[in-house]
Amino acid sequence: MTPEARDQTLVQIDHVLGEAGYVALDGPLTVGGVPFEVTRAYAAGLGFIDLVVVVDATDGTTKQLQRGYWLVERIARALDQAESRRPLTVVLLHDELAARVNTEDFLRLGRVLLVTAPDRVSVELAPILPIVIEPTAEPGPDPLDQLVRRHGGGQDAPRKVEMIEAAKLGPEQVQSRLLKWIDNAFTDEGGREDVKA
């Protein structure tokens, strides 16, 4: 990966994680008072506790991977020492043409995602991005309006329509109208009194 591609990838990671609600952490990452020099670090947004650390492995050399592993191992131990509940995700910047990255050691410390190019960032970071479900169907007709059409006829239609209209205002209105309906059934207003005093 060229230095330009590396920089573009980092910008793209900033963009994708920022849009997903992750917050970039400034300066050295500090865990339990211990500072760590990482390429980038992010904390998940509201409602999540993930910690994402970006490690540069673009050279593809064993030495660079070993340094990256040791860094992640120290961060994972610091999180354990601090009794942090934050799950650790390691984003390895990797040039897929340079060498194959063995992630087995990293996987013992946290989740590992390989990022290989700027145009693949959103796909390769998908496991840590929130799922956005777009509505696929048009909203249907209002069910209460359908009830009014269906029950709008007959002798007691005005009362049924009144009850359905009350449902649009909330359960308290339905209860109030129902009690009024029942009370009216026992008075001259709602019908004939059959019981004479």
**Tens-digit pLDDT profile for residues 106-148:** 888 888 888 988 998 999 999 988 887 777 767 778 888 888 7
Q: What is the CATH number of the domain that holds 30?
A: 3.40.1350
Number of domains in the chain: 2
Closest CA to 15 of 121, 108, 123, 142: 121
Burial of 99 per CB tally in 10 Å (0-12, 13-18, 19+):
middle
Inform me whether the pLDDT recorded for 49 exceeds 80: yes
Tens of pLDDT, residue by residue over 50-105, are 899 999 888 877 888 888 888 989 999 999 888 888 889 999 888 776 556 677 77
Same domain membership, residue 66 and residue 15: yes
Could you tell me if 117 and 55 lie in one domain?
A: yes
Q: Answer whether residue 191 is part of any domain.
A: no
At residue 35, does pLDDT exceed 70? yes
In this structure, the answer to whether residues 85 and 34 fall within a common structural domain is yes
Q: Is the dihedral of CA 107, 109, 110, 116 positive or negative?
A: negative
Domain of 99, in residue numbers: 3-128
